[in-house]
Amino acid sequence: MLRLAITTAFVLTAIPVSADEATIEDVTYKSSGDTFTFSVTIRHAETGWDDYADGWRVVLEDGTELGLRVLYHPHANEQPFTRSLSGVEIPSDVGKVFVEARTNTEGWGETRYPVEISR
């Protein structure tokens, strides 16, 4: 019985603790025809290289990716932070897109930030 308790305790402590997903606080955009530049503000409880927001993307409602911004390093001392992505092409018949954030530990978050597109 003691062996089972010790094994169970070891297994439970070996399971990584889930981190929070990155939160998108704001999205702005500028357009030039069907090409857009998005600026996205993200907040995440980063701990450094072990857990940080490592990207965000613009997608259609069906999940089709229109643009991806990779974040190559942590921003633990810069919260929230804003990064931009240019050259995102949005078809003229699309009136709404979504922005999703990703962390290096959790992957893509479940929360989508809706953005109404006006031309």
Say if residue 117 is exposed, middle or buried (CB neighbours under 10 Å; 0-12, 13-18, 19+): middle
CATH number at residue 67: 2.60.40.730
Domain that holds residue 32: 20-116
Tens of pLDDT, residues 19-37? 588 999 999 999 998 899 9
Look at 14 and 44; give whichever has higher pLDDT.
Answer: 44
**Domain for residue 14, yes or no?**
no
Tens of pLDDT, residues 40-79? 999 998 888 999 899 999 999 999 999 999 999 888 788 8
**Domain for residue 3, yes or no?**
no
